[in-house]
DNA sequence: ATGATAATGTCAACAACGTAGACCTACGAT
DNA sequence: ATCGTAGGTCTACGTTGTTGACATTATCAT
């Protein structure tokens, strides 16, 4: 870093907003993961003293919550969509897109609310829940049924996204699936099936898997719960290739 | 075994095994969460110098992986069960029981494999996968289909367990659901539906929810994929492991 | 028994961490 | 002028994970 003007502690110019802090934190996490986020490093990115951060967030934990909130807050739900099942599909797809865009944030989204009661969670985290409840009650479902559907959907999405991220590999340069997945290091005798499935594991397509899961989930839901109104059956939907 | 010989710096008696280290680590995590686990505190529990730990694990990260592995390693699969669907059900129930017994370990199980390619993960983590592949191929499924079923099942389980843990609340003493969930702190205008569903949220029963989800999933799977069992068993029914 | 070799435990030290507390500026309202 | 408040900076404390050197003990061929 060539700094001709040596200020003792780096200070840029202009005010620092909470959004700027969170954006910088997200940048670090996206690049190097959540463990790489330290107050001092974040301050270096902001070109300020580490202590300013505490003017915009009460502590590091709140900061992580804030990052998770900003990402999850980008998930939009169209409460007015008359085709509730289709809307749930799109929400799932958008969620997956968000997760792939910010893979290092997914652990935060999934993990941090574990110790926090519902009402104490940041508002941005609760917005999708409320919106989906709105969508479903507007479609005629009872409150408890809507809640049940929300749980089933997000349970599925969380699980799917985690599983898909687990299958991502860092060096896609390697052509041989066995090597790319590191499967050659496994004891041959103990994991014969796993090793044999290397090519299938390598060719994993998350988007298709998501659609298949959604088919199962939505048909299951519409047959289990009374689909209100004189609306149509679920319609297995078209699969966009990707 | 019982040597009440007190040496200068904390050292107990007897040898320290890797299992003992992991057990102590699990104890700390179960009590106070993963963040509370520090090398020094772990050493205090073991009544030894902090540095011994490095003789049994290359670092803290490996230690966390080890804890996740020991817990997940307790999940047993009966590969020989002829009723594959029933066996998957039981696996799901056992997984849930494990998660409820060690709630603080779930984030580790779910999060740590995210950066590690399949083959480099600890063997105990891969055992359930291999076992379920064995169960399903023995039931007549093709390799890719078996893998698909595994993904669907564990995606669902992961999601369900995370969602259920999020609904657990720390002070179940409070009688009023609104207060217990902290929902009274939410802006009334912004989250009307959510607040209205407080009693339903409070009465969440994870076991029933799991069974409902399993119903949906398993029926969906058996209709989507060719269930090889009852009607006509195809040729390679028996496949000796070699 | 003897000495060599490895395993195992101990200690001090380091750099980096989160954050409390004091201090300093700048500025709009009185 | 004076005050309150918000934003920004600096120092310092206690803790963390880990390194490298050192000490002790076990193992084993000779």
Domains of chain B, CATH where assigned: 18-57 (1.10.10), 76-168+205-224 (1.10.357.10)
- Give the CA-to-C1' distance from A22 to C14 in angstroms: 31
Give the pLDDT of residue B236: 45
pLDDT score for A169? 72
Nearest CA in chain B to A33: B115
How many Å apart are CA B166 and CA B132, to the nearest integer?
A: 28
What pLDDT, on a 0 to 100 scale, did the predictor assign at position A4? 34
pLDDT digits (tens, 9 = 90+) for A156-192: 999 999 999 998 876 667 778 888 888 888 888 999 9
Is residue A202 less than 8 Å (CB to CB) from chain B? no
Query: CB-CB: which of A133, A159, A183 is closest to B155?
Result: A159
Helix (H, G, I), strand (E, B) or coil at B136: helix
| Closest to B146 in 3D by CA, of B161, B135, B158, B154 | B135
Cα B10–B15–B18 angle (5° rounding)? 100
Q: What is the pLDDT of residue B8?
A: 39
CB of residue B44 closer than 7 A to nucleic acid strand D?
A: no
Of the two residues A6 and B223, the one the predictor is more confident about is B223
Nearest CB among A134, A158, A169 relative to B163 is that of A158
Residue A108: φ, ψ to 5°: -70, -50
Residues of chain A with pLDDT under 70: 1-14, 170-172, 229-242
Nucleic chain C contacts, Cβ below 7 Å: A 37-41, 50-51, 54, 59-61; B 7-9, 11, 15-16, 48-49, 51-52, 55
Task: Tell me the average pLDDT of chain B.
Answer: 87
Nucleotide nearest to B9 (CA to C1'): C10
H or E, element range at B217: helix B206-224
Per-residue flag: A15 CB under 7 A of strand D: yes
Q: Does B5 have pLDDT greater than 70?
A: no
Give the nearest nucleotide to A60, CA to C1'.
C18
Nucleotide closest in space to B57 (CA vs C1') = D18
* pLDDT score of B34: 96
Comparison of pLDDT for B123 and A174, the residue scoring more: B123
| B92 SS3 class | helix
Q: CA B236, CA A38: separation in Å to the nearest integer?
A: 56
B59: helix, strand or coil = coil
The predicted structure's pLDDT at residue B13: 60
Burial class (CB in 10 A: 0-12, 13-18, 19+), A41: middle
pLDDT given for residue A149 in this prediction: 94
Chain A with chain B: Cβ pairs closer than 8 A = 191
Burial environment of residue A93 by CB neighbours within 10 A (0 to 12, 13 to 18, 19 or more): middle
**Residues 6+ positions from B118 with CB-CB distance below 8 Å:** A166, A167, A181, A182, A183, A194, A201, B126
Chain A residues 3-62 with CB within 8 Å of chain B: 33
Give yes or no for B147 touching A (CB within 8 A). yes
pLDDT value at residue A57: 93
What is the per-residue pLDDT for A27?
A: 96
State how far the Cα of A66 lies from the Cα of A124, in Å rounded to an integer: 9
- Looking at residue B34, the DSSP 8-state letter turns out to be G
Closest approach of A194 to chain B, Cα-based (Å): 6
pLDDT at B168 over 90: no
Higher pLDDT, B232 or B204: B204
Residues 6+ apart with CB under 8 A from A74: A98
Residue B28 has pLDDT above 80, yes or no: yes
In tens, the pLDDT along B70-88 reads 999 999 999 999 999 999 9
Count CA atoms closer than 13 A to A156's CA, side-chain side: 29
Please give the average per-residue pLDDT across B123-139, as a whole number.
95
CA distance A195 to B123: 13
For residue B186, give the nearest of B207, B168, B203, B201 by alpha carbon.
B201
Q: Which DSSP category does A49 fall into?
A: -
- Of B237, B97, B77, which Cα lies nearest the Cα of B161? B97
DSSP H/E element including A39: helix A39-46
Nearest residue on chain B to A218, judged by CA atoms? B216
> In this predicted model, what pLDDT tens digit does every residue of A82-102 receive, in sequence order?
999 999 999 999 999 999 999
């Amino acid at each position: 870093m060539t700094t001709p003007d040596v200020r003792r502690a780096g200070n840029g110019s202009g005010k620092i907003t909470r959004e700027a802090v969170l954006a910088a934190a997200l940048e670090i996490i996206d690049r190097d993961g959540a463990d790489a986020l330290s107050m001092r490093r974040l301050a270096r990115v902001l070109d300020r003293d580490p202590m300013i951060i505490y003017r915009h967030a009460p502590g590091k934990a709140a900061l992580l919550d804030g990052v998770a909130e900003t990402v999850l807050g980008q998930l939009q739900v169209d409460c007015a969509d008359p085709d509730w099942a289709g809307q749930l599909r799109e929400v799932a797809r958008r969620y997956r897109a968000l997760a792939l865009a910010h893979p290092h944030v997914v652990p935060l989204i999934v993990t941090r609310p574990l110790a926090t009661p519902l009402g104490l969670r940041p508002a941005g985290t609760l917005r999708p829940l409320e919106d989906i409840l709105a969508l479903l009650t507007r479609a005629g479902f009872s409150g408890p049924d809507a809640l049940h559907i929300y749980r089933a959907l997000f349970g599925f999405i969380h699980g799917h996204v985690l599983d898909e991220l687990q299958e991502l590999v860092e060096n896609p340069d390697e052509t041989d699936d066995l090597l790319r997945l590191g499967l050659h290091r496994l004891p041959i005798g103990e994991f014969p099936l796993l090793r044999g499935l290397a090519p299938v594991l390598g060719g994993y397509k998350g988007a298709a898997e998501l659609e298949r899961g959604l088919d199962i989930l939505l048909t299951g839901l519409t047959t289990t719960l009374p689909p209100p109104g004189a609306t149509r059956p679920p319609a297995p939907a078209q699969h966009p290739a990707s």
